[in-house]
Amino acid sequence: MVIDMRTPNGGVAVEAELIAVATEASEILGRRIQPPGTHSPDAAKRLLAQLWDEAVAALSDITDHADIQRTTALLARIRTAETELAAVDAASSATHLRMAAQAIARLHGARGVDDLLSRAAEAMGAMGFDRALVSTTEGQRWHLHTMFVVDDKPWADAILAAGRESSPTLDGHLVESDIVQRARPGLVFDVQHNPRVVRPLVEMTHCSSYAVAPLTLHGAVVGLVHGDYYFQRREADATARAMLAVFAAGLGHALAGASLLDGVTALRSGLDRMTGHAAAAYQPQGQGLSSRELEVVELLAAGRANRQIARDLAISEATVKTHITHILRKLGAANRAEAVAYWLRGSAAR
């Protein structure tokens, strides 16, 4: 799990404690022990466990009373460091969940699937990823949709172009094939020497490791999200994988609404082409909907709540309610669901 042990809530104290433990253990065990980096809590846990075992083993060979006391004190200090590290670890987990929730919130207001997926890559940057890739999948086909690189759009565009040109397929040879088949997130390491990656893509990105999670819609995998920590020079780990999984789940829910909105838009566009003019709603009372009312009813069809409609259209909730009242009256509908049904049926009949 990746956390910054220099962060508030005891992070600085944990880092100082680890350095002190490493220094003290070096003196007692007679070898130089390098404290773990500030972004390596997993390494810190492994080192503390190793030092504990070595200190316990050393006790059996020590006869000097002072050395026994020093080694016993070291064991106590190791346990203290482990406890403090676990506390910072737990606090960091909560922080990462908040970051994922904030990233998902950035998807609100997307007008259709294309806009949603474009927003998703940049939203992943808000979770701390230096680079993010959002793709769609269909059978064995893997379509790269949007690439995000923090503060470097030209590089993002170049990476995306290289990936698209390579035309990757999910035929079982790539790690992503396993992710899609199992519908579970994963981590990929030693990327530059890994035979199961898209070679042109990883050569351009200089990536060493990345996390990847499936994007699902109605239980089927329809895409992938990738993220790494290239500029931070650290490996993707279990936290990155967990954050991507949470984000992908939120993106999947948003995708369901965006897909419905795209379907409504496509229906209206098709009717426009057939009739040669803007498609009109079903009007049992002969009264047409205004352009704003059409926007509102489209969002109703996409399952949007009043508050979401107000945010999408930059109007107040009271105004949304007024528009809905007019829509119900013009369509002769008793409620929102009936209004949407009338409107869709009327549009299809034109």
pLDDT by residue for the chain (350 residues), tens only, comes to: 333 433 444 456 677 888 888 888 888 888 888 876 545 677 788 888 888 898 888 888 888 888 888 888 888 888 888 877 776 665 666 677 788 888 888 888 887 788 889 999 999 998 999 999 999 998 899 999 999 999 999 999 999 999 888 889 999 999 999 999 999 999 999 999 999 999 999 999 999 999 999 999 878 899 999 999 999 999 998 888 988 999 998 898 888 776 655 554 544 454 444 444 434 444 444 357 888 898 898 888 877 888 888 888 889 888 999 999 898 888 888 888 778 777 776 655 55
Q: What is the rounded CA–CA span in Å between residue 299 and residue 135?
A: 25
Output the pLDDT for position 336.
81
Q: What is the rounded CA–CA span in Å between residue 50 and residue 276?
A: 76
Residue 37 phi, psi dihedral angles, 5° rounding: -65, 160
Output the pLDDT for position 64.
85
> Percent helix, strand and coil across the chain, each rounded to 5?
60, 10, 30
265 is a domain residue: no
DSSP state of 215: E
The string of DSSP letters for 134-183 reads EEEEETTEEEEEEEEETT-HHHHHHHHHHHHHH--B-SSSSHHHHHHHHT
Are the C-beta atoms of residues 264 and 272 closer than 8 Å to each other? no
Where do we find the tokens 């190791």? 78
Residues 243 and 119 placed together within one structural domain of the fold: yes
Residues 160 and 121 placed together within one structural domain of the fold: yes
Residues 228 and 126 placed together within one structural domain of the fold: yes
172 is a domain residue: yes
Asked which of 39, 67, 100 is the last residue of a domain, the reply is 100
Output the pLDDT for position 11.
54
Residues 129 and 253 placed together within one structural domain of the fold: yes
Structure tokens at 119: 């927003």
Q: What is the rounded CA–CA span in Å between residue 333 and residue 330?
A: 8
Domain with 233, as residue range(s), is 109-259
274 is a domain residue: no
CATH classification of the domain holding 289: 1.10.10.10
How far from 269 is each of 229, 281, 327, 347, CA to CA, in Å?
42, 13, 21, 11
Domain count, the chain: 3
Output the pLDDT for position 73.
87
213: helix, strand or coil? strand
Are the C-beta atoms of residues 253 and 157 closer than 8 Å to each other? no
Closest CA to 106 of 126, 84, 91: 126
- Cα angle at 302 between 298 and 304, to 5 degrees? 95
Structure tokens at 206: 């200089």
266 is a domain residue: no
Residue 195 neighbours by CB under 8 Å, 6+ apart: none
Residues 79 and 113 placed together within one structural domain of the fold: no
Other Cβ atoms closer than 10 A to 100: 24
